[in-house]
Chains A and B, each alone.
Chain A
């Protein structure tokens, strides 16, 4: 029950944080002078296309961009009524993309889920690679196994992701017949889900997962190895050996369990690092994720679109930290019972 209370409490603080983030996001996207429409109007005026100006002016009023900034924020959030009544983030209306001339929700639609998918795959990859390698490197520290793992790890850290992407695409295509670019075969784009489409997505996922996950996995492996080495020197490990435990079982039950905590705590940091870190990779690999959309939106000051994408990334981060916090409480009795009366 305690844990449920904690989870609810944690969820509440998450919502509050999200509110704060929304203020920050709105402030940041409004930091550069002007907005998409005022830029457009200026350009139209300069080229003498008065007809377009009228439409842009109309859009400015339509989206309340002529109001003071604080009112714009509340209208965007849906706390104050705009020209069309309450219609903002809270009501599920994410605004209009001026650049693409379509609603934001339509543009991001599928790429939202693909982003989540790619990043989940990468996180899984990170954990599946880092966990065994890190433990092995610590248990066999200062042997060839340790050095080899460290070498591969540093290689992974040092190689630029997009370079790795290009190399993998080339060889993957040549030898394994892996597809190049995109997250699905072109014929499935915009189609409803089907078994073939899922298969296509999975095959396309292989290279991006590897590319996005490698550096994260190497970093985490090194961290886990260091944590494990710390733990291996502690007296409770000696106690376990003196009990007559097999080394492999002892490793898994005691030091790994303790070294696992920072590992779990990293979930929260991993998600945003991957979303922002994978923008370049997504551009190079032609992935239909949210990264390239964000880049484009920021470049052209398409404020509603970039605002929404930033909010989405923030949400991912907050959910990640919440999950890791709740997991930590579940895993570590020292956190769970802190202050319990004895």
Chain B
């Protein structure tokens, strides 16, 4: 078939530097989905933006032809050569539409959704207000808005992330483009939402017969969506061809490397359980209510339950993971465990610094006890780019905890910092550098080194790998495991990613809206999940295996309202059933 768009010999550079995209070729046929896969810095985003010529101002097109085959009877257009005016009028938003990664920031916060979507019709066709409105409402309904009229009047901040991305999709689809470019369209979304949005995009494509270029870092998404794959690395195409053979048997070493690094939910893990009673951390009946003060002084404040009756315990030397989507209360639980957040009366957090020591009440400590506790419990943060001060040398960042606690001389600090750097796999002579000299993965190693400076017993890791590329994520997880085993550390590990959790945790708690819905060791939870929400989370996880597509039915059921769950789990309002042990060590929130 004649390709709809064929990009040949594309090279792009910034200023006078060497090109960041070199001699890239790809093409997409009508009705087909092409996935551009790569890690950050691979040039996949720049390449697809070059098609619409939406590039940073300093970017230069060094070479390349981008032929868009003509519609009915028109000649072909070379998108690299046509005038800005023609690009604007005929191509952007009209024949080629684009969806971006962050749905919140990609819509103007000050204009109503209806206005922003209808605008695209008015830009490319002359139709009446009423006709445009009718078309937009139709489109809203098609992308799954239950009340299109309401959506028309809404502002972006009134919609959830998934709904905003649906609005973006509606905006792209309303002009009925020939080609849709989606730049990491689901990366910022929760897994269950991602599954539903991907399903929607696939349906729409089948209906309209448009072609799609999907830019992603996630091989699981590729396996679910694409017919053609182009794997990019450092601005070059590594491997290209039909999706199925590549996913079944990647030929290029880099593709193989990507596959091996992608975390998978393992087939079966041999459980290694012992009834260890030495618990380093216990959360007992922890409830946390936040009061949301409304901006208007006359309206009542709203109470939000971030955590509800959370009971968790972490055996010494083990990893306890809390999994959940955004708003599930997992981060609040972690902050409570560190004493960074108070608990509602009736709850308590106990910490035992050493085996057999008397438990400390984390929320009932005086100044000195708290300082001593802080030496024992440290945190690794999510974003390695913003959690290191850009104005401090690495040595100063690492030595700061020791200074605060008044430990050792400067020479001690130096040797300790060098030791920690070696432990996390960085050369010790990097101490005098600033964070900007390090990559994302190296920065996360530095964050871990900083947390280890005080020789803590407990490490709370809040999504430590979610800002990292897959291959780097793999390295960091391995490092965390090695350190845990070498130093007898205990981890409280927060994540939204089931595959990551399956790999590192000894025990997993699944949280939804502040409540634990299911809890157990990973091998039980992932191979014999009981709760519909857990099932939905697992089903929604895209796996890089063409034979295991996302089961949208399971996702839709579990991610829906509790009223729609099967009888045993169903509840309405605040009336949730208790968390009951089904088997030893496997707890599920259900009626018995």
Q: Which residues of B contact A332 (CB under 8 A)?
A: 110
Most buried by B among A9, A235, A243: A243
Q: Is A246 an interface residue (CB 8 A)?
A: yes
Q: Which residues of B contact A240 (CB under 8 A)?
A: 108
Q: How far is the CB of B116 from chain A (nearest CB, A)?
A: 8
Q: How far is the CB of A202 from chain B (nearest CB, A)?
A: 37
Bound Cα distance from A172 to B93, whole angstroms: 53
Q: Is B564 an interface residue (CB 8 A)?
A: no
Residue of B105, B119, B298 touching A243 (CB-CB under 8 A): B119
Q: Would you list which residues of chain A between 238 and 279 have a CB under 8 Å from chain B? A: 238-246, 253-254, 257-258
Q: Flag if B106 contacts A239 (CB, 8 Å).
A: yes
Q: Is B97 an interface residue (CB 8 A)?
A: yes
Q: Which residues of A contact B108 (CB under 8 A)?
A: 236, 239-240, 254, 257-258
Q: Flag if A339 contacts B88 (CB, 8 Å).
A: no
Q: Which residues of A contact B65 (CB under 8 A)?
A: none
Q: Flag if B155 contacts A337 (CB, 8 Å).
A: yes
Q: Would you list which residues of chain B between 40 and 54 have a CB under 8 Å from chain A? A: 52, 54
Q: Which residues of A contact B294 (CB under 8 A)?
A: 338-339
Q: Flag if A243 contacts B92 (CB, 8 Å).
A: yes
Q: Would you list which residues of chain B between 260 and 312 have a CB under 8 Å from chain A? A: 292, 294-299, 302
Q: Flag if A242 contacts B54 (CB, 8 Å).
A: yes
With contact pairs A338-B295, A339-B299 given, residues A236 and B92 touching in the complex (Cβ less than 8 Å) = no
Q: Is A234 an interface residue (CB 8 A)?
A: yes
Q: How far is the CB of A325 from chain B (nearest CB, A)?
A: 12
Residue of B93, B102, B296 touching A242 (CB-CB under 8 A): B93
Q: Flag if B100 contacts A235 (CB, 8 Å).
A: yes
Q: Flag if A236 contacts B158 (CB, 8 Å).
A: no
Q: Flag if B88 contacts A9 (CB, 8 Å).
A: no
Bound Cα distance from A332 to B292, whole angstroms: 21
With contact pairs A241-B54, A258-B110 given, residues A246 and B88 touching in the complex (Cβ less than 8 Å) = yes
Contact with B along A149-161 (1 / 0, CB 8 A): 0000000000000
Q: Is A174 an interface residue (CB 8 A)?
A: no
Q: Flag if A258 contacts B106 (CB, 8 Å).
A: no
Q: Would you list which residues of chain B between 120 and 151 have a CB under 8 Å from chain A? A: 120, 123-124
Residue of A244, A257, A331, A339 touching B91 (CB-CB under 8 A): A244
For A, the interface residue count at a CB cutoff of 8 angstroms equals 28
Q: Flag if B296 contacts A338 (CB, 8 Å).
A: yes
Q: Which residues of B contact A244 (CB under 8 A)?
A: 87-89, 91-94, 120, 123-124
Q: Is A335 an interface residue (CB 8 A)?
A: yes
Q: Flag if B100 contacts A238 (CB, 8 Å).
A: yes
Q: How far is the CB of B87 from chain A (nearest CB, A)?
A: 8
B90 to A, closest residue via Cβ = A244
Q: How far is the CB of A57 from chain B (nearest CB, A)?
A: 50
Bound Cα distance from A254 to B109, whole angstroms: 9
Q: Is B421 an interface residue (CB 8 A)?
A: no
Bound Cα distance from A12 to B199, whole angstroms: 53
Bound Cα distance from A329 to B107, whole angstroms: 20
Q: Flag if A243 contacts B155 (CB, 8 Å).
A: no
Q: How far is the CB of B570 from chain A (nearest CB, A)?
A: 24
Q: Flag if B298 contacts A9 (CB, 8 Å).
A: yes
Q: Flag if A236 contacts B123 (CB, 8 Å).
A: no
Bound Cα distance from A254 to B108, whole angstroms: 7
Bound Cα distance from A335 to B98, whole angstroms: 30
Q: How far is the CB of A339 from chain B (nearest CB, A)?
A: 4
Bound Cα distance from A342 to B171, whole angstroms: 22
Q: Flag if B88 contacts A245 (CB, 8 Å).
A: yes
Q: How far is the CB of B139 from chain A (nearest CB, A)?
A: 15
Q: Which residues of A contact B298 (CB under 8 A)?
A: 9
With contact pairs A245-B123, A332-B110, A342-B158 given, residues A239 and B297 touching in the complex (Cβ less than 8 Å) = no
Q: Is A333 an interface residue (CB 8 A)?
A: yes
Q: Is B438 an interface residue (CB 8 A)?
A: no
Q: Which residues of A contact B91 (CB under 8 A)?
A: 244
Q: Which residues of B contact A257 (CB under 8 A)?
A: 108, 110-111
Q: Is A84 an interface residue (CB 8 A)?
A: no
Bound Cα distance from A246 to B92, whole angstroms: 11
Q: Flag if A236 contacts B105 (CB, 8 Å).
A: yes
Q: How far is the CB of B509 from chain A (nearest CB, A)?
A: 29
A254 to B, closest residue via Cβ = B108
Bound Cα distance from A302 to B87, whole angstroms: 71
Q: Flag if B107 contacts A339 (CB, 8 Å).
A: no
Q: Flag if B107 contacts A239 (CB, 8 Å).
A: yes
Q: Would you list which residues of chain A between 105 and 123 have a CB under 8 Å from chain B? A: none
A236 to B, closest residue via Cβ = B108
Q: How far is the CB of A16 from chain B (nearest CB, A)?
A: 13
Residue of B88, B92, B93, B102 touching A235 (CB-CB under 8 A): B102
Beyond A234-B105, A244-B120, 10 additional contacts (C-beta under 8 Å) are A242-B52, A243-B93, A243-B119, A243-B171, A244-B87, A253-B111, A334-B109, A335-B295, A339-B295, A339-B302
Q: What would be 18 A-B contacts, judged by CB atoms less than 8 Å apart? A: A9-B297, A234-B105, A236-B105, A236-B109, A239-B108, A242-B97, A242-B98, A244-B91, A244-B92, A244-B123, A244-B124, A257-B110, A257-B111, A333-B109, A338-B295, A339-B295, A339-B299, A339-B302
7 closest A-B pairs by beta carbon, nearest first, are: A339-B294, A244-B92, A338-B295, A244-B93, A243-B93, A235-B106, A242-B98
